Amino acid sequence: MAADPRNFIRERAAALGFDACRFASASQPWSAGERLAHFVEAGRHGDMGWMETTLERRAHPTSMWPAARTAIVLGLNYGPGQDPLPELADRSAGYISVYARGDDYHELIKGRLKTLAGQVAARTGEDVKVFVDTAPLMEKPLAQRAGVGWQGKHTNLLSRGRGSWLFLGVILTAAELAPDAPEGEHCGACTACLDACPTRAFPAPFQLDARRCLSYLTIEFAGPWPVEFRKATGSRIYGCDDCLAVCPWNKFAVASHETRVQARAALMSPRLADLAALDDAAFRALFSKSPVKRIGRDRFTRNVLYAIGNSGDRALIEAARALLDDPAPLVRGAAVWALSRLVGEAAFAGLRAERLPEEADASVRAEWTGDQA
């Protein structure tokens, strides 16, 4: 009897540093595509227009690649080793999501996936394709089908062995490989993730409205935020971990063994004053090889200024004031809002009288006059 190729694949995956490697059918029907269609139809994807334009390709793995028969789902643990949420208490420091404190996981995982995929193709003689989450493939439903974990009430993947902290990658292959058993749902009556959300982004268990999600707002949304979300963000400047970190399954989580995903010292509670002073070159240098770099300096500085406005730290007034003359209207508008929260009504009225007549951008004028959303 020929050796089971899955044993070889699992061994090679472990040698490459992956913490999970399981198999699922890529050709059998599923309901994930219908759920995604309802999500988009309800407008809950916000400004992420690519979700709508790629909806048909996302509906099922074979919609994107008809030859796909098996999904090899890989997981890489990025556990921080301790609860990150106490860091939010320092309002003069910025909070960066745990996943973004080290190297960009897309590049880290993609290289290893390509290596493993080449070995799979050589072993099976069948074509392969690799995917990290920038591609139109719903990897979380595949991960649940493969038994890596399950999608919790916050819609993110949970693992009984690693809690909330697992990066995913997928290799699709035209080879027919026996599937592993799927994972059931183990949330029970717990609603910790739903209750922890600062913006109430979950209309119901297992449903997300991205338009209210701080991860969406800090990363995907390009314009000035609605005021209610600015106040709710606290010191979160890139992503949000609240619904992940409060999950009771994290009692089984362990710190990642992968040095490239571990937090850089410079991204652990960075001072807001230092971040506000970054020009484009300094921003790119600080976030070299980091996923933070992809949102650009202006959007990042907007987030920093919202956090400054929430800080209550009058020592940050000058950092915000210095950005009133920034070339980017997005940054100037956020600086106005931050100052409106820090300097007091009389001082802000004086600034408005001085600055408003010279401001040409309508969105920034709206910040001065309080006419923003």
Please, what is the end-to-end C-alpha distance for the chain in angstroms?
67
**Using CB atoms within 10 A of its CB, is residue 330 exposed (0-12), middle (13-18) or buried (19+)?**
buried
Task: Choose among 213, 247, 250: nearest CA to 233.
Answer: 213
Return the structure tokens found at 261. Answer: 């995903």
d(CA 355, CA 347): 12
- Quick check: is 133 catalytic? yes
Tokens 């059918």, residue located: 25
d(CA 176, CA 69): 6
Largest CA distance in the chain: 84
How would DSSP label each residue in 221-262?
Answer: --SPPPHHHHHHTTTEEE---HHHHT-GGGGG----S-GGGS
What residues pair up with 36 in beta bridges, in sequence order? Answer: none
**Using CB atoms within 10 A of its CB, is residue 156 exposed (0-12), middle (13-18) or buried (19+)?**
middle
Q: Given 4, 47, 104, 133, which residue is catalytic?
A: 133
CA distances from 130 to 63, 113, 134, 171, 184 (A): 15, 6, 11, 5, 26
Active-site residues, by number, are: 133
